[in-house]
Homo-oligomer: A and B are copies of this chain.
Amino acid sequence: MKDFVFYNPVKVYFGKNCMKHFDKEVRKHGKKVLLVYGKGSIKKNGAYNDIMNALKKAGMDVVEFSGVQPNPVLSHTRKGIEIAKKEKVDFIIAAGGGSVIDESKAIAAGAVVDFDVWDFYTGKKVVKDALPIVTVLTLPATASEMNMGSVITDEETGLKLSTGGEALYPEASFLNPEYTMTLPKEQIVYGTVDAISHIVEPYFNHTAKYNPLSLNIADGVLKTLKETCENILISPDNYEYRAAHMWAVTVAFNGLIRTGLGKSEFPNHAIEHAISGLFPEVAHGAGLAVVMPAWMNFMKENISSLLLRFSSNLFGSVNDESAAIEVFKNWLKSIGAPVSLSEIGVDKDAIPGISEKAEEIMRLWGMNIEVYSRENIEKILENAK
């Protein structure tokens, strides 16, 4: 067990009736709010109406800021900060998936400083303060609703970077599984893959010599993600499956599993950020489905016992590491996730460029560049052709 500090003050309101608490919660945070959302799916799933009704009840002054795109971009974030400053909003409501929440966090941090928000992402500045954030989750994937991370892409350079800080924990997050009932299967699959990847990184890359609790909990959350994803694909109208899936995705990356595991590198994320930074049309979860088995294949000798454990927990026992990766890859295929670069529209000629970008991200993240040299990243990506 490594020493750690665990702190997660997000108040989670969960369930089909959770929005009944919404107006009481938002009143705590002020009178004027910036409501951030994407391209309008919240107007179809019911979230927008519920939010606006509650805000009306609370007598709130609402400024709307929409148009956040998947893999949220810096230019749109800067516009949001400009509006938040000009309108002097007291707090932010992020209504959507991880992209909306991440951009909202960036706006919340950027609105209280005089310098450019991108400095938080390049590591030039540290997030110390932010406007309060309340989230209404409509797409379970990133767990941004219950953690202090944010990922933004500078679309001019294709650099997709992250930042964090206690000030970026949402004050409260509302998780109503009914808002997820209309999500296309693809989104459920990518969200599941994203959640699995959040566990895969610390599971395989941790530095603790003994930590049965984290690994046992990780196994339990992984099993839940697999079971609920499969069940949703078969029975998309079943509330129970959607609900259990939604909460499992959040718990996968709320910090608990990482406690006592020590420093964990996030190589799969670094490589995927390079891919979707350069190819913004690639969904984060799709990129991760391609990268994970390729990375496992590259690392299989170093992660042998954990790989067999991971596989046996999810799929029953296998003979060796290659079989463990194969069965995982086949399962990804079975739920409709891509497992090769060509399936996500990335030509093998792009591998050197992606590797260069990935190495840049890994350096920023303080990762071991001897293991993750550009050559080795290329080898990993070659596994995904």
Contacts and interface: CB of A to CB of B under 8 A. Distances in A.
A213 B221 contact: yes
A240 B177 contact: no
Contacts of A217: 217, 220-221, 251
A158 interface: no
A136 to B, nearest CB: 15
Interface string A1-34: 1111111111111111110010000000000000
Contact of A11 (B5, B21, B213): B5
Interface in A206-228: 209-213, 216-221, 223-224, 227-228
Contact of A228 (B15, B17, B18, B212): B212
Nearest to A211: B244
A213 B6 contact: no
A319 to B, nearest CB: 23
B213 A1 contact: no
Given A4-B15, A6-B11, A13-B5, A247 B259 contact: yes
A95 interface: no
B243 A260 contact: yes
Nearest to A14: B4
Nearest to A239: B1
Contacts of A211: 244
Given A1-B177, A11-B5, A21-B5, A213 B244 contact: yes
The number of chain A residues touching the other chain, given as a range, is 35 or more
Copies of this chain per assembly: 2
A3 B16 CA distance: 7
A218 B209 CA distance: 23
A25 to B, nearest CB: 10
Interface in A140-177: 177
A260 B244 contact: yes
Given A3-B14, A14-B3, A18-B3, A216 B209 contact: no
Contacts of A296: none
Given A12-B6, A251-B256, A260-B244, A220 B216 contact: yes
A47 interface: no
A14 B5 contact: yes
A248 interface: yes
Interface in A224-243: 224, 227-228, 240-241, 243
25 contacts: A1-B15, A1-B177, A2-B15, A3-B15, A3-B17, A4-B14, A5-B12, A5-B14, A6-B12, A7-B10, A7-B11, A12-B259, A15-B260, A210-B240, A210-B241, A212-B224, A212-B228, A213-B221, A213-B244, A213-B247, A213-B251, A216-B220, A216-B221, A217-B217, A217-B221
By Cβ-Cβ distance, the 4 closest A-B pairs, closest first, are: A3-B15, A216-B220, A1-B243, A9-B9
Given A217-B251, A220-B220, 13 more contacts: A3-B16, A3-B17, A6-B12, A7-B10, A210-B240, A210-B241, A212-B227, A212-B228, A213-B244, A216-B219, A216-B224, A217-B221, A251-B256
